[in-house]
Every structure is written in structure tokens, then in C-alpha cells.
Structure 1
Amino acid sequence: MDHITFLVAVVIVTALAFDFTNGFHDTANAMATSIATGALKPRTAVLISGVLNIGGAFLSTEVAKTISGGIVDDTLVTPGMIFAGLVGAILWNLLTWLLGLPSSSSHALFGGLIGAVWVGAGEHGVHVDKVVEKVLIPAVASPIVAGVAALLATYLAYKITARARQDSVTKGFRLGQIASASLVSLAHGTNDAQKTMGVITLTLISAGALGHDAGPPVWVIASAGLAIGLGTYLGGWRIIRTMGKGLTDIQSPQGFAAEAAATTVILTSAHLGFALSTTQVCSGGILGAGLGRRLAEVRWGTAGRMVIAWLVTLPAAALVGGVSASVVKHGGTFGTVVIALCAAAVAAFIVLASRRNPVRADNVNDAHEVTVRAAAPTTVGTVA
């Protein structure tokens, strides 16, 4: 425990705070379609998802190893750089949550970490080849694969049940959705909790508390699982509304198909060490399910804004992480305190802004539009 300095402790707490935001930001990935179709009540859905997120954290550590020793050089990384990267990730998560945009928490973390290490240690501190192989290529391929799989599954589901009684079909697929949504939650815990495990492990390696090839200790796995589970239970209702109501009108067969496709892609990739964005995978599945049902409406305007957020996430978080790393690097402890206070102030402003147009469990399925307004009277963004 001699290696656990004050700065290391701050970084660990900040990493768990990111994990918490990851949970409520990404609850929609697992439960948006089940809530939209009425398969699960909102509060029941987020409770199930939170519990399974905790369980999923114990299934694999391959993604954690990719982060702790893959995309950056752990011999050059310092706790200050990791702290700066986490600040970039947390602020991007909060901003996109405010706007109701299902952007990638994973890419926010990668971007913040890459920007901070690039500024703090130089370009040699980032393994660009690994970033391309483990992050960028999966980011492009995974939503397409999930979308095609969900499209085909949706088409087959409606084809097979075309002559069956619709009330029986709906009831059956709603039961199926409970199972498939639960599997997505388990997969989310397996994939996303590992990213925080990887960051904390990287911090401990950089501080000399663990060897360079070490995996996450049990206490790291448990704390990361608990943090993401608690965040999930809070429910990111704004993003749940966007994914459940904003992309397409989801029926039970579509929801089941989207969730089943997403689960398959996420769990397979997690065990291969690919740090996927569960948000992108699940969004791709929902869009595919929308296209798979004849006469279904896909709201391409919302999808377009979402894709723009995906493209901007990594560089935006990298920019904030890089600026934060520069302040920490030149300001030492004082710089760290300044960044922490600035980040807390921005986070508080975002939370206060969200109260102007609250989205809760009791109105998440409302059909009306949610408009997010900033301090000025101008409209910042509208989510259907």
C-alpha cells in the first residue's frame, strides 16, 4: 500500500466516477427497447440491468488488459496523465447525456487517455497500431455487423409469425426481450466495467504497485462492477428515450432481435479483447431492427446526429484530456487541483441544466419531444 499516494487514490476515485457515469449513460444499451415496448417497467429494467452489470464484471478481463497494456505504453504513463484523461471522458459523458445522445463512453475514455498520454509523454506513449486494431476497426465494423444481424433476425421473426395471433406474438417476444435484455446487461458489465478495471490497473502499474504484465486485482474488479452497477440503476433516462423512441418505433420482435444481435457481438468481442462501444453496437442493432420491419419508420435525422457524436467523441475527449494533462504536467499538485475544480464546476452546471427538462422513469416513454436548453434562451439540442 506504500505505492498508493494521494494522487493515485484521486485517480482511482475519478476512475470509479467515470465508471458510474458509464453506467447511467449506457443503461439505454440494454434496456431502452424493453422499456419502449413495455416488456419491462422502467425501474424494474434498470434494477435488473444494474445487478447483471455487476455480475458481468467478473466474467472476463481481456479488455482490461488491452487498456492497461495495449493502447498506451504503461512504462511512460503517470497517474497525472490518467487523471487528465478521465476528466475528458467524464465531461464528454455528461455533455452527451444532457443532450440525450447515445455516444460512446468507451471512446470517450480512449480519447481522453490518448490525448493525455500524447501530451504528457509524447507520441511514442500511444500505440497507434493497437488503437487502430483494437478500437477504430471494431468501432466501424461492430455496429454494421449488429445492424445486419438484427435486420435479418427481425425479418425472419415477422416472417415466421405472420399467421400467428398478434397478441400471442407480442407476449412471447416480450418474454424473450426480458432474457435478451438481461444478456445485453451482462455483456455490458463484461465489456464496459473492464475499461475502468484497465484504467485503475494502469494507474497501479504506473505507480509501481503492480508489475507491467499484471491483470486487475480482485478488489479492482469488484469496485468497478459495483460502480457501473450503481450508475446503471440510476437510469440514463434521456438516452433511454432516444434509443427507445427516437430512432424507430420499436415493437417486441424488433427489440428481441436487436438485443440478441448486440449480445452476440459484444460477448464475442469481449473475450477476444476488442474494446467495443456497446452504445454503437446496440444502436446499430436498433437501426437494423427498424429496417427489418416492413413499413417501419427510421428517423434518420436522429441517427445522423448520433453518428456525428460518435465521430466527434474520441477527438473531443482527447482534446480535453490533452489540455488537462498539460495543466497537470506544468502545475503539479496545484494544476491537478485546478483541473479537478474546473471539472466539478462544469459537471455541476450540466446537472443543473438537465433539471430544466427532466426525463424520469415516469415520463421516459412519452411521445413528446425533449428539448434541452442551456443557460441562454437558445436551444442547444432536441431529441425526439
Structure 2
Amino acid sequence: MERLGILVVDDTIVYRKIIGDALKEIPGVEIVGTAHNGKVALSKIKTLKPGLVTLDIEMPEMSGIEVLEALQAIPDAPVAVMLSTLTHRGSDMTIKALELGAFDFIGKPDSGTMAENMVKIRAALAPIIAAFRRQQQFRSMIGKRPAPGAVQPRPKTVFPEISSRAPLARNRATLSEIVGIGISTGGPNALARMMPMLSPDLNVPILVVQHMPPMFTQSLAKSLNAKCRLTVKEAANGDPLVPNTVYIAPGGRQMKIIAGPDGKSRNIRITDDPPENSCRPSVDYLFRSIAEHYVGRATAVIMTGMGSDGTRGLGLMKKNGAIVIAQNKESCTVYGMPKEPIESGLADVVVPLDKIAHEITRTIIR
């Protein structure tokens, strides 16, 4: 396996040391250099050509956000994994970084010894690097060109897009009255591109589980609300489900739907129930409740992300008559969460990111 070159960028020597020590214990990576600010980082990126950069968000002279903006003009620029302080300012800047295309982020530990913090950072970085390498290998495979005169195998389409299928809404007696979305790595960028495409007149509520810690989901909701024609908010316990409103599950907590006092309306319940699939909030946790309360009247969307959270919940939703839309492999930042639903046949529709909003609308409006 080709080694992955990583540049460590942080304005403090302590964290450069901690991150460097953590990376040295992850197989298949090589630290090609370090930088103490954004200007030095850009210079080293051009000469060292790392595949990945760990990038502190808040730095003097040139912030991590400014580095990301500059990287967009560099051919074959490395991907960035952001290191963020667990503060409201840090969360706002992290969401902006993710919307600018950062691959993922981890929080900087705010307590503990250097050795303890190294263990925490290694545990957070290892799965991110593994997911990046898998996606890197996939991109390399689809980017290969056959040699001149080579016999090309006939392409096999296992899960065609909706354009080759019958309109799904006509196969049900009713249209969807709710949309549930599960998403993780690459989510803020994908949601920032997809959700502004949704009409402000869908007249259904949308519930989103984005894997994130506390504070970050509030920043995500604020950012999306500024971009979308729908109202976007971080969900609160007891919120009634209101049409044309998007509810983001609070980071570090679980979100589900319960029946309202009148037995007809539906409200949001926020709980501290245990993590599922090592996730809190969990997509499975939300999808189970939608399956229970919206039989034959729901749309489920599974998008980019690591792991398999959401698959079991999708199975229940599909069993209860929901339509399942999955983001295709090629447009995912990480092809993890949609993989099993697609390969097992749970997904009714498999489309690239820029078509998801249209397919959601097809399940709601004839």
C-alpha cells in the first residue's frame, strides 16, 4: 500500500508534537513536514505535495479557513482534516471549513496529559484516514483509462438511477408526509449543496441526523438556514413537526418522533438514550420512529458517511412502505452509509448528489 504523506499544521508546538506522535502510530502514513501557520503551510504544500493536511482552524497570520480557500486554486491539492476547539466560535468555523470541502474534523481535547491527548487524537484520526484511503483508491480506479485497443468489459448496471425506473410515487396510494435524512462524513458540504435546491413549498417536515458532537449541529443549522429557502433549526425537545421546516438532531443526543397529546400530531423527543452504532445522534434511532409513525407516508434519504448507521432503520422504513433514496458512490465523500442499502436492494433510487433534491420532491408532489 502506497504511503500517505501528511503535513501537520498547527500554531502550537505542543499540538504539532501530539498530532505527529498520533500519526506515527497509524500504519501506512508518513509525516512529510510540519508548519506553524497557514502561509508556511501553503509553501510546504507546493513543494512537499502531501496527500492530506491536518489543519488547525484558528491560527495567526493565515487561518485554516484561508488556507482552504487558497487550496481551491491549487491543482491536485491535498484534502484537509480540521482540528477544532470545542467552542461556539470553533464550531462555526468548522462548519465553514467543511462546507469549503474539508474532508472531516476532530475536536482538540481540552484536558488531559499529552500522552492521553495523543491517544484521543489517534483514535479520532485513524478511521478518518482509513476512510480517506478507501475513497482515494476508488477515485484512482474510476480515473484509470484503458490502454489503446484494450477490450473493455460491458458495463453492468445493477442499481440504475430513477430515470430508468417507473415513477415511484405512483406505486403508493399516498405521497410522503415526512422526509428523514441520514448523513455523516462530507455531510455539511453535501447538505449545503443539496438543501438549497429544495422548494420552500414542500409542505412536509424534514428531519436530519448529521453525526456531530454538541455545539456543531447548532452551527450547521445556522449556516444552512442562511442558505436555504426552508427554515432550518437545531431540534429541541417537544418541537411540533411543522411543514417546510428542517430539524437537525442535536449533537451528542438522540432524536425521535413521538405522538402528540391529541394522538394525531407528531412531536420531536430529544433523549440521552445510549449511542447506536457508536453514534449519538444515530440515524437508526430516528428512522425507527419514522417507520412507526408514518407507515406508507415517508421518504428516507441516506447520504455520504462512514460506517453503516441507518441501514437497519432503512430496513424498517422500507418494510413499512417508505421510499428510500441513496446517494451514489461516485458523488459521496465517503461511500459507507449508502453502500449496504444500495448493495442489498433497500434503495429504490440511487442518484448523484445534485439529483437528490429533485427525487425527494418527486415523492412528495405529483
TM-score, with length taken from structure 2: 0.28
TM-score, with length taken from structure 1: 0.27
Return the structure number with greater relative CO, CA threshold 8 A, min gap 6: 1
The structure where helix makes up a greater share of residues is 1
Bigger Rg, structure 1 or 2: 2
